[in-house]
Amino acid sequence: MAHLRLGDSAPNFDASTTDGDINFYDWAGDNWVVFFSHPADFTPVCTTELGRAAALNGEFQKRNVKPICISVDSLDDHHAWAKDIGETQGTDLNFPIIADPNKEVANLYDMLHPNASTTATVRSVYIIDPKKKVRLILTYPASCGRNFDEIIRVIDALQLSDEYNIATPVDWKDGDDVIIPTSVKTEDIAAKYPKGHTEIKPYLRTTPAPNK
């Protein structure tokens, strides 16, 4: 089984979901995608995570992002679990859950944990851009809930870097100063970064947020 790496094309697949049958590429369209996996339905940590992802629906829409998640359990279980999520997390599920009983999609995305149950998908997150390229992979242990603020932050950073040819420093948040890549020559900075720049070191140059 090939390992999925950053920059690879996200594998396409057909699947049954709580929102009907989909072809992944067709469903994604020209959007960014947050694709995240769960070991099983009716698990406590994942219940809180799906509720949080549903509550962020407006934030995802603002960024042209579609969330989708996967578990090896059945559609019937997914629908029953969705009711629990709505009841306990205060928000209805508003994105699809993929049923993957034969682990076909889990294998495509290298989601099966070699040191755990052979049926349990690792709790991973994939950010996929509109060109269907994998831009981020995060994998969490079963005991640790995912941080969706970080997922949103990374989407902001990726989208900004794609549009303006910048990099983002440690702990960056939208609106903070950004870094000018070392590939940009000093003499070209003024034309490309009209807000001016600060040279801290020849290799460390910052400029105000280009989108503000």
Residue 46 appears among annotated catalytic residues: yes
Close Cβ partners of 159 (under 8 Å, ≥ 6 residues apart): 32, 63
Q: Tell me how far apart the alpha carbons of residues 43 and 142 are, in angstroms, rounded to a whole number.
A: 10
Angle between helices 44-55 and 148-164 (to 10 degrees): 50
* Active-site residue (options: 10, 46, 152, 166): 46
DSSP string, 78-117: HHHHHHHHHHHHSS---S-EEE-TT-HHHHHTT-B-TTS-
Positions marked catalytic: 46
